[in-house]
């Protein structure tokens, strides 16, 4: 199980299935969520699962993990698609 804890007081943790990766750095998580990286360090393709748009958990996660607001994320992701 890959686990990343950004800050104990923030309560943010990323957990994944056992893909042979013990941990992820904050930088790796940001790159995965911003589409700049698609594979884990062992070559396994990462699958990103998001919380619902506008949910408190999603907003808090991205504030810490990516440093982006909901609108900034949508803008960045739309540029990746086109």
Q: What does the pLDDT look like over 65-80, one tens digit per residue?
A: 889 888 888 888 788 7
For residue 4, what are the β-bridge partners? 14
Q: Is the pTM for the entire model greater than 0.85?
A: no
Distance CA 47, CA 63 (A): 20
Domain region containing 12: 3-81
Predicted local distance difference test score (pLDDT) of residue 35: 87
In b/e form, how buried is each residue of 10-41, taking b as 16+ CB within 10 angstroms? eebebebeebebeebebebbbbbbbeeeeebe
Number of domains in the chain: 1
- The confidence score (pLDDT) of residue 22 equals 78
First-to-last C-alpha distance (Å) of the chain: 33
Which pLDDT score is estimated for 51?
A: 83
Q: How many CB atoms lie within 10 A of CB 51?
A: 13
Q: Which residues of the chain have pLDDT under 50?
A: 1-9
* 3-state secondary structure at position 70: helix
């Amino acid at each position: 199980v890959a686990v990343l804890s950004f800050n104990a007081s923030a309560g943010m943790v990323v957990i994944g299935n056992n893909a042979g990766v013990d941990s992820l750095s904050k930088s790796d998580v940001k790159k995965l969520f911003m589409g700049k990286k698609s594979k884990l360090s062992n070559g396994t393709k990462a699958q990103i699962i998001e919380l619902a748009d506008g949910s408190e958990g999603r907003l808090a996660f991205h504030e810490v993990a990516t440093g982006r607001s909901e609108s900034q994320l949508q803008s960045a992701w739309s540029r990746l698609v086109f």
